[in-house]
Amino acid sequence: MTKTTENNEAFAVIATGGKQYIVRPGTVLTIEKMDGEFTAGQVHTFDQVLMTDTGTSTTVGTPTVAGAKVTAEFIEAGRAKKIDIIRYKAKSRYHKKNGHRQPFMKFKVTAI
């Protein structure tokens, strides 16, 4: 399926970590942690591209666009801020407190 759009900014929709992300060249993408070892500056290729838009035409994949790739440069890996999980039952002296920090990875999109 191909259609024309009014703006001239290229973008793509990729799937990784069970989620879908809209990416444009130069944007910083924060995603779920992936398996493997990554070093700063290493280039990674996302090949599950669901849709691409060049500014003049749009291509939607079934389910992915054949031959389309998004390349990104690895920036850093880390853990998000801590969230508290609290379970409480009234009148029974029951309460539990737990915490969680979600790991993440940051990539800078270089090309679509």
What are the tens digits of pLDDT across the range 67-85? Answer: 889 999 999 999 999 999 9
Query: Does 79 reside within a domain?
Result: yes
Domain that holds residue 59: 11-111
pLDDT tier at 2, thresholds 50, 70, 90: very low
Query: Does 3 reside within a domain?
Result: no
The per-residue pLDDT of the chain, averaged, comes to 88
Give the residue carrying structure tokens 């539990």.
96
Q: Model's pTM, two decimal places?
A: 0.76
pLDDT tier at 7, thresholds 50, 70, 90: low
Expressed in angstroms, the distance from the first to the final Cα of the chain is 19
Query: Does 75 reside within a domain?
Result: yes
Q: What is the mean pLDDT of residues 42-64?
A: 88
Query: Does 61 reside within a domain?
Result: yes
pLDDT at 6 over 60: no
Tell me the backbone φ, ψ of residue 54, rounded to 5 degrees: -95, 0
CB 58 within 8 A of CB 9: no
pLDDT of 59 reads: 85
Query: Does 103 reside within a domain?
Result: yes
- Residue among 65, 73, 55 nearest 15 (CA): 65
- Split into its structural domains, the chain has a count of 1
Q: What is the mean pLDDT of residues 12-26?
A: 91
Query: Does 2 reside within a domain?
Result: no
Name the token pair of 51.
């849709």
